[in-house]
Structure 1
Amino acid sequence: MSKKQVATTKAPGAIGPYSQAITTGSWIYTSGQLGLDPETGVLAEGVQDQARQALNNLKAILEEAGASLDHIVKTTVFLKDMNDFVAVNEVYSSFFTEPYPARSAVEVARLPKDGLVEIEAVARKK
């Protein structure tokens, strides 16, 4: 199996020993994206703005890999508080069209940088 690292300055750099994404064959696996502004490294205010920024970060990473949000087949959404599920869905639905990617959403005790939401994706280029 050959794998290739995906890296772009249009999304926050890795804050640990991992890649923004890895491609192998036609598959792209992204690391979880927080709502961090790639220029300032600061979290957006509120769960909806963090979700929007996290999805924009995913979009930038996928574009660097030669794909788009339309290529996503599965996402995982990590929430600090499951009560934010509806608010995040409002933002999430503005980034995708049917058929929507498969998705899991889970509440977690804590996210890096004390974020409110983190989103990762698996995509497949055609």
Structure 2
Amino acid sequence: MSIERFPTPLPVPFSKAVRAGGFLFLSGVLPMDAQANIVEGGIQVQTRVVLERIAQVLGECGAQMSDVVRATIWLADLEEFVAFNEEYAKHFVGALPSRSTVEARLYKGARVEIEIQAWVG
């Protein structure tokens, strides 16, 4: 089995994605702009930014949202769960992955972080 790493352009010590066998593992994605600042806005705005970035990284790695089989979601406040789900569902039409959602203290005002595993067999 070969392992392929996709480096992040950010000055941090991790890969944005790693392909191992038939799986692609994306590191947790925060709602950041091109300058690595957390975007302003509520949970739905931040969720949209995160999922658009995930779709972009998947595309760079030869995958798409329908290939996602597992998601782990961290929310800064579980009271935003319903609003989060409204935006989340728009990005996985007909291909919902399994997932876990937990509440956590997130980086510098982020409302959401999402980590993805996709099947690229």
**TM norm structure 2:** 0.91
Check conservation: 1:7, 1:64, Cα contact below 8 A. Answer: no
Q: Which residue of structure 2 lines up, in the alignment, with residue 51 of structure 1?
A: 47
Q: 1:99 to 1:57 in 2, by over 3 A?
A: closer
Of 93, 96, 106, the residue aligned with 2:92 is 96
- Encode CA deviations 1:22-55: one digit per residue, 9 max, x unaligned: 0012210000101112x23222221111110010
Q: How many residues align?
A: 120
Corresponding position: 1:26 with 2:10: no
Corresponding position: 1:69 with 2:65: yes
Percent of residue pairs bearing the same amino acid type:
37
CA distance in 1, matches of 2:72, 2:66: 16
Q: Which residue of structure 2 lines up, in the alignment, with residue 112 of structure 1?
A: 107
Q: 1:3 to 1:113 in 2, by over 3 A?
A: farther
Higher strand share: 2
Corresponding position: 1:42 with 2:37: yes
CA distance in 2, matches of 1:53, 1:99: 19
Deviation at 1:21, TM superposition (A): 0.7
CA-based RMSD? 1.5
Check conservation: 1:47, 1:88, Cα contact below 8 A. Answer: yes
> Segments of 4+ in structure 1 off by > 6 A?
none
Equivalent residue of 2:48, what SS? helix
Check conservation: 1:14, 1:20, Cα contact below 8 A. Answer: no
Equivalent residue of 1:76, what SS? strand
Equivalent residue of 1:20, what SS? strand
Structure 2: 5+ residue runs without aligned partners?
none
Q: Which residue of structure 2 lines up, in the alignment, with residue 6 of structure 1?
A: 6
Structure 1: 5+ residue runs without aligned partners?
none
Deviation at 1:17, TM superposition (A): 1.3
**TM norm structure 1:** 0.87
- Encode CA deviations 1:86-123: one digit per residue, 9 max, x unaligned: 01101000001224100110001x11223110001000
